[in-house]
Amino acid sequence: MPVEVIERITTPRGELQLQRRGEAYEVISNGCFLMATYNGGSEKALITLARRWVPRARRILVGGLGFGYTLRAALDSPGIEMVTVVEIEPKVVEWNLTYLAPHNGFALEDPRTDLAAADMVEFLKGQPEPYDLIALDTDNGPDWVVFERNASLWSEEGLRQLDRWRAPGGVLAFWSAHASFSFEALLREHFKEVAVHFVAARVNLQDDVVYLAR
C-alpha cells in the first residue's frame, strides 16, 4: 500500500516523520519504525495488566505520549482522577491534537489529562509526587532505545528514580517490543514482585512484552 508522508521534521533528537498508509498512521524516528495506529494493543495492555495489581489506582504517570493509546487506556480505567503524561517532542503533541486525536478518543482534551512537556529523564529528577501506577512507554524496550540518553531509564539508577515517584503499594509498568532477560533480572534484583506478560503484536513476528514490578 502506498505511503503518504504527512510531515517530516528535524528535531534536536533527529528526524521525525508522520506518514499515512491507507487509513492508518505511522511514525518513523531517524529512519526507524516507531509506532502505528494499527498496533496499539500492547500499549493499552500496559495499563490493563498493571491495573490488576492496583485496581484502586487514582493517579497514573505515563512516560511517553506516542499515539495516545496508553494515555487513553489510563483515562478509561475506573476511578482515575488524573493522568500525567510526559512527552518531550512538541510535534508528537501537535499530531495527537490533530491527525491522531480520533484514534485515541481525543485523550489530550480530557480534563483529567496533565501534559508535562519534558524529557522523562529530567522529569524524574524533580520533586516526586506519589503515583499509584507508573507506565514507561518511551522506547522500543531496554535494548532498543529511541534516544541514547533514554538508556538511563532502564538502568539501576533509572529504576531508583522511577521508584521515588511510586506511591506505597503502587506498581511500575514497562513496555518493550521484545523480551530482555537482562532487564527482567534487574527488576527481580530490586523488587519483591515481578511479572512478565507477552502480548501478541499485530505486525511483529515476536510478541510485545509488559513488565510489572513493585
Q: Is residue 160 part of a domain?
A: yes
What's the CATH number where 201 sits?
3.40.50.150
Q: Is-above-0.85 flag for pTM?
A: yes
137 is catalytic: yes
Q: Is residue 59 part of a domain?
A: yes
Q: What percent of the chain has pLDDT over 90?
A: 73
CA distances from 36 to 28, 85, 140, 204 (A): 9, 19, 13, 12
Give the tens place of pLDDT for each residue, 41-98.
Answer: 888 999 999 999 999 999 999 999 999 999 999 999 999 999 999 999 999 999 999 9
Mean pLDDT of the 158-175 span: 97
pLDDT at 203 over 70: no
Torsion of CA 96, 98, 103, 106, to 10 degrees: 70
> How many structural domains does the chain have?
1
Give the other-Cβ count within 10 Å of 61's Cβ: 29
pLDDT at 205 over 80: no
- List the domain range (segments joined by +) for residue 101: 39-213
157 Cβ partners below 8 Å, 6+ apart? Answer: none
126 Cβ partners below 8 Å, 6+ apart? Answer: none
Q: Is residue 11 part of a domain?
A: no
* Higher per-residue pLDDT: 141 or 205: 141
Q: Is residue 118 part of a domain?
A: yes
Relative orientation angle of helices 181-190 and 156-164, to the nearest 10 degrees:
50
Q: Is residue 177 part of a domain?
A: yes
* Candidates 76, 114, 132, 137; catalytic one: 137
**For all residues of the chain together, what is the average pLDDT?**
92
Q: Is residue 180 part of a domain?
A: yes
Q: Is residue 107 part of a domain?
A: yes
Q: Is residue 101 part of a domain?
A: yes
